[in-house]
Amino acid sequence: MTREFKIVALDAYGVNPGDLDWSPLRRLGRLDVYDATEPSSLVSRASDADAILVNRVRIGRNELERLPKLKYIGAFATGYNFIDVQAAAARGITVTNIPSYSTMSVAQMAFALLLEICQHPFCYDSLTRRGKWSGEPGFDYQPHPLVELDGKQMGIIGLGDIGSAVARMAEAFGMKVAVFTSKAQEDLPEGYVKMGLAELMATSDVVSVHCPLLPETRGLVSAAMIDRMRPSAVFINTARGPIVDESALAEALNSGRIAAAGVDVLSKEPPSADHPLLHARNCFITPHVAWASREARSRALCQAAANLEAFLDGNPVNRVG
């Protein structure tokens, strides 16, 4: 390792808005950190980089062709669909990701969205502070129905690390677990039931998406699949927006064909003002922050450094391309 090795973090603010220490990466080379990078600035900022670290900046074939010194791309994330991995491989560039760093944070957000839908704590707090409870003749105030999760079915699409964590949380709430997964039934934890997607959508009280965005999963939750859901069902997506037909989801919410949805991801981020889910009935949206707890971000930064160090030592880990 040499101090002349040039590392450029192109959109670092999401991982480290100022509360973490960059020293694990600084000790590996000369580090330039940019909070954000527009496409027009990417090549000029990374022109002499040996390694770049990215969170969401798109790195395509055209950019790679203009970065002749580049040897390594490290995703500050588990997903890496914003990197043209095939084009990188063709140029001999190693691409790595960070698996499992945000597992518990994302699973926690999936349940935070679900519990807001079922229990309405923030809505009830707002109503109470506006004096609605104070004017009631009885001891309580129940304008919104509450839903108990015990005994209901949690349908999980994708049983990787995050899906498995959500499944364990569902069990803790007394829920039955159904899964759409490539894993065989005999390889699933006791009590989990493997289902086809159509059956899972039709029989689950809650459907939660936890598969990666791949060509075969883009549009997986289609209008036809959403149409199979129960009128009382809740839909949760903390994976990737393009996995879901968002227009069909909005239409199902607005027509009352499903009860509610909670999403942390959208197909276009940030969304335009006319995005259909922004105006959909009973749709709760958080701005792609499920992964961003300080604990998860700290793990991401340290793992990014460990990935790069392993590459420099000639033994790359977490390689995706």
Query: Which one is catalytic: 269, 279, 295, 319?
Result: 269
- E runs forming strands in 41-85: 51-54, 72-75
Nearest to 77 by CA among 48, 50, 106, 108: 106
Return d(Cα 222, Cα 214) in angstroms, integer.
Answer: 15
- Residue 288: active-site member: yes
Return d(Cα 110, Cα 290) in angstroms, integer.
Answer: 8
> Any idea which residue has 């040039």 for tokens?
6
Question: What Rg value do the Cα atoms of the chain yield, rounded?
Answer: 22
Amino acid at site 277: L
- Residue 230: active-site member: no
Query: Which one is catalytic: 240, 246, 275, 297?
Result: 240
> Any idea which residue has 């330039």 for tokens?
32
Query: Which one is catalytic: 120, 210, 275, 288?
Result: 288
Answer for the pair 150, 171: CB distance below 8 angstroms, yes or no.
no
Residues marked active site are found at 240, 269, 288
